[in-house]
Structures are given as structure tokens and as C-alpha cells.
Amino acid sequence: MTAIRLLLVDDDPLVRAGLSLMMGGAGDIEIVGEGADGDEVEALVDRTHPDVVLMDIRMPSVDGLTATERLRARPDAPQVVVLTTFHADEQVLHALRAGAAGFVLKDTPPAEIVDAVRRVAAGDPVLSPAVTRQLMRHAAGVRADTRQARARDRLAALNDREREVAVAVGRGLANAEIAAGLFMSVATVKTHVSRILAKLGLNNRVQIALLAYDAGLLEE
């Protein structure tokens, strides 16, 4: 089995050392590079070709938010998981909207961080349903009518079945759970998710969830 290629980006050398030690014990993950600031990310990605970038949000020169936006705007960009010390940080949601596949807390148990890297490499979001709801509530505050209208306009591009899948993704359901609930195969769910991403110009399932939330579909 091909190892997951991982790039670590954090301005704290002790954090990088801890992450390196943690990931080094996983036989299916290979650390291909390390960086200390967001301004190094694109060059490091060009040189090391990672599958996943584990990136700190707060860095001195270029922060993880800007680095994520720049990286995810590129073709064939690796997946990004942001690191934070906050459970409900508006900057975390900014990173998710920019295309990050999820986030992990720096005090998360090592096994869960390793699992997060594996899940993101496999195309699954890192956020649990509970954490997703917490982030959405925190970041949206009082949702503006204009944001809801824009989100609903974008979702109008979906057919009825794709809309049902988008809502299920927004509720944090895994592919198998969506398949069971909507009476379709897992392969069909994956096809619908791929079509939703393409139609809406999104990067990952987390962004589908955020758009469904902005449109008010998770309250219906």
C-alpha cells in the first residue's frame, strides 16, 4: 500500500517534533517535509508533492488561512487539515471556507490526529457532526438574509436528489449512512457528492455542509 505523503507546517519546532514523532509511528504515513511559516508552503508542496498538509493557523509571516487559500486555488492541490488551539474559532471556519478539509486541536490524542490524516487522505472530512454544528453556530451568528439568499441561489443548480445528499452531508452523515437513509448504494452517494462539488465549484464535503447551513436547509 502506498504511504500517505504528509507535509507538516507549524512555526513551533517542538510541535513539529511532536507531530513528526507521532506520525513516524504510523506505517502508512510518510513525512515528506516540514515548514515553519505559510510563505514556505507552496514551494514545499512543489518539492515534496504531499497528499495532505497539516498546517497551523497562526504563524508569524503568512498565516495558515492565507496559505490554505493560496494552496487550494491551485490545480491538484493536496488536502489541508488546519491545527488550532480553539474549539470554536472564527478563523477555523474561515479556513474551512477556504478549502481546508477539516481541523484538529493541538491537544487532540495522537491516535485521533493520525486517524484524521488518514481520513482526509481518503476523502472524508475530519469534523464530527457535533463539532461541525458548533463551528457553524459560532461563525454564522445572526445569519444575514443576503447570505441565505446567495446560498440558496447556488444550491438551485442541484437536482432534487443531489439536494437531498447535500443536506445529508451537511448533517455530518457518512456515505454509508446517507446510502441507507436515501435508499441508494454507497457508490451512487459518492457519485452524487462528486457532482455536487463540480456543480457548485467546491473543494470538499465540509464546504457542502457550510453552504447547506447558510441556505438554512439544516433547519428544515
**Could you read off the pLDDT of 124-172 as tens digits, one per residue?**
767 655 555 565 565 555 455 677 888 899 999 999 999 999 999 888 7
Share the mean pLDDT of the chain: 85
- For the chain, give the secondary structure using H, E and C: CCCEEEEEECCCHHHHHHHHHHHHCCCCEEEEEEECCHHHHHHHHHHHCCCEEEEECCCCCCCHHHHHHHHHCCCCCCEEEEEECCCCCHHHHHHHHHCCCEEEECCCCHHHHHHHHHHHHCCCCCCCHHHHHHHHHHHHCCCCHHHHHHHHHHHCCCCHHHHHHHHHHHCCCCHHHHHHHHCCCHHHHHHHHHHHHHHHCCCCHHHHHHHHHHCCHHHC
| pLDDT at residue 206 in the model | 80
pTM of the model: 0.70
| pLDDT at residue 160 in the model | 94
| pLDDT at residue 62 in the model | 93
Percent of the chain whose predicted confidence (pLDDT) is above 90: 42
